Structures are given as structure tokens and as C-alpha cells.
Structure 1
Amino acid sequence: MKAWFARRYGGPDVLCLEDMAMPAPGPGQVLVRIHATTVNSGDVRIRGCNFPPGMKTLGRLALGWNGPRRPVLGTELSGMIEAVGSGVVGFAPGDAVYAFPGMRQGAHAQYIVLPETGAIAHLPAGLDVHTAAALCFSGTTALHYLGKADVRPGQTMLVLGGSGAVGMALIQLARHQGIAVTATTSAPNLPLVQSLGATPINYRSVDLARLGQRFDVVADTVAASDFATAQTLLNPGGRYLAIAGGIREMLQSLRPGARGTRMIAGPAAESRDAVIALGRLASEGHFRPHIERVFPFAELPAAHAHVDSGRKRGSVVVSVID
């Protein structure tokens, strides 16, 4: 089988397509033939050692000092069960599935072994493999932060970075929960953000400080703000979600702000229940990732370069099979 390796940190040029031994599922494990995966902000951050402020040393200690300790990147996928190990009862060869290896990674390959009890689920009817592959990274992040914010129907939320994968997931999942959403984006993406049910704002032409509107939640997906600024946009008791924050935000989140406001920061939990819920929400039409581009497996470094450019809208999918 073939897989893309990042054996050192750097740009997309560090990625090498190599042959590796076909893995075999052990007891309680399944072997998945990957049909599609994604390149997301987490992948390029690990590949480039581009961690949030204050997190570079911790990131290298956790992920590898001179290069990724797990050199085959990739956090999410869709595919088909190729084989199962002893004791597996929930899956059988031929089952269509989607999965979220998350920080275990390994999805930028033709095959992967996953635990049956991990973040893997049967593909709901009506979902294509590209959509299914893009469900989990953005979706689990959005569900995690919406849960931490304890959002309620009738509340209001401002999303900073509404046209990224996480921003779009937040808009859709918050709207499904009865939240009125306003979202910032660039002028070309205003119609896209509006089509998801949010009130769009061109961040280049509108000064949020002069907006004259306050929100129950400010969700910052692109590190465009900080807690001090966000407090001027929050209602009393409001929550600032520092989704792209680093160690500083994690430390600041330990202390409440003015008027009962608070900041929520830190990595999103990787939950099997969330993965299953996302499949259900997608099949019911409440959440669909916006897929901007699909790259062939042989051009995975080009997908990394596109995400690096900062001009990505929604999700970038890589088709692993022809």
C-alpha cells in the first residue's frame, strides 16, 4: 500500500509518497480501505510545526521534536471495511464507514487499522464518500465548543471566520439548535455564508467595534480577536470561544471577564458519540460540509499548499481511490 509521509517539519515539499506494509487488523480492530480523506488546518499545522503562540515547544514534545512522530498525517476519512480482527461484531467486510482517527492520524494512506470501539461509524444512506470524509474534523470541533458554551435556543452568536470548515460547521449546527448567527467573511464569500443561514458581515469593510450589537457567544475560529475585545461584543454572561487559541488563551480562560463573561479555550474532545451524531445530522440535512475542492491522492501536497494559502473555503477533500 502507499501512504504520504512527513518525516520532518516544513512546507508541502516535505511530503513523500512511499510504499509501506499492508497493516493487519488485530483483535477488536478493523482494516479500512480509504476512499477519501481531507487536508485540514490541523494537518498543515502539524506538518509545518505551526502551533498557536506559546504552544510550539509543547507541540513538538507531544508530536515529535524534529518531525511528526506519526509521519502519516490525516485525521478523518471515509471508506470500506476490508477485513476485521477476531471479536469484532459491529462491522463486517464490505461495510461503508466514515471515521475520525483524530490525533492518532494515519488517514493520508490507502488503508488504515482502527479499533472497532473508536470513532468509526457506518455511513448513513444518502451520504457520498467525499461529504462523509469531511464530517468529523470541523463537526466535532463545532459540537465540542457549542456544548461548552451551553448554547440555548433564541440566543445569538457571532462567528469570526464564517467561511472556513469550522466556521461553516458552527453556523449550521448552531442554526439547528435555534441560535441566530452572524458571521464574518470576505466579500466573495458573503453569499456562501448567507446560504447557510447566517447574517454575513464583510470583515474588511465593517468595524465590529462600531457594530452596535452584542451577542451571547463570540466564536473565533481564526484568532481574529482576543478576550478583551470580545468582551465589548458580548452580552452579560456571554462566552468567547477561542477555538484557534493557544496556551495564553487556555490560561486566560481560568479567570472570568467583566460582567460575568468568560472565555473557553483548549483542544476539542474526540468523541465517538459526536462522530455518530454528525452522521445522523448530515443524513437529516442539518449539517453538510462545503467541499471546495477535491484533489487526487497523487496531488496531496498540492492540497496542503492550498490550505496553507489561507484562501480555503470550507473543506479540501482528497480522493484516495480513482
Structure 2
Amino acid sequence: MKAIVQDRYGPPETLTLAEVDTPVPAPGEVLVRVEAAALNAYDWHAMRGDPRLARLSMGRSRPRARVRGRDFAGRVEAVGADVHQVRPGDAVFGDLGEANGAFAEYVRVPENRVAARPANLTTQQAAALPLAGITALTGLRDVARVEPGHRVLINGASGGVGTLAVQLARALGATVTGVCSTRNVDLVRSLGADHVVDYTRDDFTRDTARHDVVFDLVGNRSLTALRRVLTPTGTLVLSGGGVYRGGSLVGPVWLIARGRLLAPFVKQRVVTLATAPSRAHLEALRAHAEAGRLTPVIDRTYPLHEVPEAMRYLEGEHARAKVVITV
């Protein structure tokens, strides 16, 4: 099969289209014929091996996972033994996690990391949903425990996670403030944000408004500044790695580490977000999508052989919401 492979860390030029063996599903796994895949900030972090501290898990001298990509949508081609929830021909979407491998014609994935594709979404939209959607859902529903009437601020509201977080916060009954640049103000407002802050003109951390939840997807503000816009018992959810631009030893780890150290000593909740793909999360996202509460926004699509160009576009900070690969 054709796949985008990488044998050393580096820029998009290290990604090449090659012929590799088609994977064979083991017990508990399914083989999916990929129809679309999505790029995430995670993918270019993995491509560059950045921050360098992350190479302890990704591979010290070269990527442990040779084929890039983790989000996908397609149809089940075959199933291994002990697979009970899906069968050949089913339309599915899923997230491979750190195993990677979605930028390819076929992908092997554990059964518990796929779910039936939302009936009202296109294949490309479904591929754009898993990682970003799970991050937004976990941060807002599971960690911050957003309820009707809560005031939620999303820093990074126009990104892949942010555009879904705005919609999910609204679906959970919150009043939503989105922070983005000038060119994305109309987009964020169209997704349901009650208030939009243009960070090129206003500093949201100097505003007098107070929020029950601050969902930080950027990592470009200090803990003190972020806590300043929280209510005395509000929740700060840190997930700055998604938009961190790279080029250091530890990346956003220092901000996250400070958050963990601070958490026991303040009334406000300071929580570092950790996510893991699961069928339960995918099914929750499908339910929101099919109810009309959640629609992924796609900026651009590229064919499989143009993944390097797509990665260059994403890495250059030009992308709004999601960039999708068609296979």
C-alpha cells in the first residue's frame, strides 16, 4: 500500500510517499481502508521530534512509528479474531493514538479506538473529529465539568480543538467567550461564541470579566494571568501543547509543571489535560454531531501525496480549524 513515511526527525521534506506492507489485523484489531485522515498539531510535533524531551517516548534518534498520522475515517476492510463491535463494510472513524499510521491507504487499529461514523458528516468531516474532539470533550465535560450557566473562555478558539470546544461548550449550556485573531472573529462567532476577543487588539487577561472555566489551548500566557480571569473557585484547564510552536527542549512542559505544583495551594482548580482515545469518547462525539450540535470546520484538503505541503501549511500557522487528507 501507499503511505507517508518518515525515517528521521525534521521538516516536512522528511515525509515521503512510499510503498509499504499492508498491515494485518491481530486479534482485537480491525483493518480500515482509509478514505480521509486529518492533521493535528501532534503530527508536526512528532514529525520534528519536538519538544526534544518528547523523544523519550516517540523514539530517541528517529520516529518509532514510521508512518505518520493518527485521525482517520474509512470503511472496515477486515477484522481479526475476537472483534465483536464492527464488521467488514462498516463506515468508521477513529484515533490511533501514539501508534500513528493514518496517512496511508490502510490502517490497523484496536477495535476500541473506532466507532461508527456520524451519519450526517462527510468522510472528511468525520476524519477531522477524533483527536481534537476528544480533547475538547475531555477538557470541558470530564475535567471542567461544564454545566448550564457556566461562563467558559477558550483561548485558541479558531484552532482544530478550539472550534470544536466552542460548539461543545455551547452544547453543554455555557456562555462562551472565544479568543482568536482578527481574521477568525467571524468564524468563532458563527460557531456559537457569545463573545469574541480579538487578541491583536485586546488582552483578555486584563479584562474585568470572570469565568468559571478557562480552557487554554495555546500556552502563551502565564498562570498568574490565566488565573486572574477566573472566578475564585473556577477551573483552569491547561492543554497548551496543541498550539505550542516548537523549537525547545521542554516546550509547554514548564507551564504544565508549574500548574501541577500550584494546584494544591489555591482554591481555583488548575488541571493539566491528559487524553486517551476510546470508543466511549468517539460515540459521544458522534451523538453530538448527529444531533446537530457539533460540526468540524475544514480549512483545506490535500491528497495523500501532498501531506508534506499540508504539514507545511499547518506548521506555518496559516490554518484555521482542520486540515484534511483525502486518500
TM-score range, shorter chain: over 0.9
Q: Once the 2 structures are TM-superposed, how far is the Cα of residue 119 of structure 1 from its aligned partner? A: 1.1
Does residue 1:15 correspond to 2:18, yes or no?
A: no
| Matched AA of 1:171 | V
Does residue 1:234 correspond to 2:230, yes or no?
A: yes
State the partner residue of 2:244.
none
Structure 1: 5+ residue stretches without partners: none
Q: Once the 2 structures are TM-superposed, how far is the Cα of residue 185 of structure 1 from its aligned partner? A: 0.9
Q: Measured at CA, do residues 258 and 29 of structure 1 come closer, stay the same or move farther in structure 2, by a change above 3 Å?
A: closer
Q: Measured at CA, do residues 266 and 125 of structure 1 come closer, stay the same or move farther in structure 2, by a change above 3 Å?
A: closer
Does residue 1:269 correspond to 2:276, yes or no?
A: yes
Q: Measured at CA, do residues 231 and 88 of structure 1 come closer, stay the same or move farther in structure 2, by a change above 3 Å?
A: closer
Q: Once the 2 structures are TM-superposed, how far is the Cα of residue 312 of structure 1 from its aligned partner? A: 1.1
Q: Measured at CA, do residues 257 and 191 of structure 1 come closer, stay the same or move farther in structure 2, by a change above 3 Å?
A: farther
Q: Measured at CA, do residues 99 and 210 of structure 1 come closer, stay the same or move farther in structure 2, by a change above 3 Å?
A: closer
Contact 1:144-1:269 within 8 A present in 2 as well? no
Does residue 1:90 correspond to 2:85, yes or no?
A: yes
Identity %, equivalent residues: 37
| Matched AA of 1:50 | D
Matches within 5 A, 1:284-295: 284-295=291-302
Q: 1:141 aligns with which of 118, 127, 135?
A: 135
In 1, Cα distance between the equivalents of 2:275 and 2:81? 32
Q: Once the 2 structures are TM-superposed, how far is the Cα of residue 16 of structure 1 from its aligned partner? A: 1.1
Q: Once the 2 structures are TM-superposed, how far is the Cα of residue 234 of structure 1 from its aligned partner? A: 0.8
C-alpha deviations, 1:230-272, integer Å up to 9, x for none? 1211111112111115332333324338761132114323222
C-alpha deviations, 1:114-138, integer Å up to 9, x for none? 222x210112322210011011111
Contact 1:231-1:258 within 8 A present in 2 as well? no
2:254 alignment partner, SS class: helix
Q: 2:216 aligns with which of 220, 244, 261?
A: 220
Contact 1:222-1:244 within 8 A present in 2 as well? yes
State the partner residue of 2:198.
202
1:275 alignment partner, SS class: helix
| Matched AA of 1:125 | A
Q: Once the 2 structures are TM-superposed, how far is the Cα of residue 181 of structure 1 from its aligned partner? A: 0.7
Q: 1:278 aligns with which of 268, 282, 285?
A: 285
State the partner residue of 1:102.
97
State the partner residue of 1:26.
26
Contact 1:292-1:313 within 8 A present in 2 as well? yes
| Matched AA of 2:55 | R
Q: Once the 2 structures are TM-superposed, how far is the Cα of residue 48 of structure 1 from its aligned partner? A: 1.1
Q: Once the 2 structures are TM-superposed, how far is the Cα of residue 196 of structure 1 from its aligned partner? A: 0.9
Q: What TM-score comes out, normalization by structure 2 length?
A: 0.92
Q: How many residues align?
A: 314
In 2, Cα distance between the equivalents of 1:88 and 1:211? 53
Q: Once the 2 structures are TM-superposed, how far is the Cα of residue 222 of structure 1 from its aligned partner? A: 1.2
State the partner residue of 2:247.
none
State the partner residue of 1:2.
2
Does residue 1:300 correspond to 2:300, yes or no?
A: no
| Matched AA of 2:85 | G
State the partner residue of 2:256.
250
| Matched AA of 1:119 | R
C-alpha deviations, 1:11-30, integer Å up to 9, x for none? 10000111111222233321
2:64 alignment partner, SS class: coil
C-alpha deviations, 1:279-301, integer Å up to 9, x for none? 11111111111001011111111
Q: Once the 2 structures are TM-superposed, how far is the Cα of residue 226 of structure 1 from its aligned partner? A: 2.1
Matches within 5 A, 1:148-187: 148-187=143-182
State the partner residue of 2:246.
none
Contact 2:39-2:324 within 8 A present in 1 as well? yes
| Aligned Cα root-mean-square deviation (Å) | 1.5
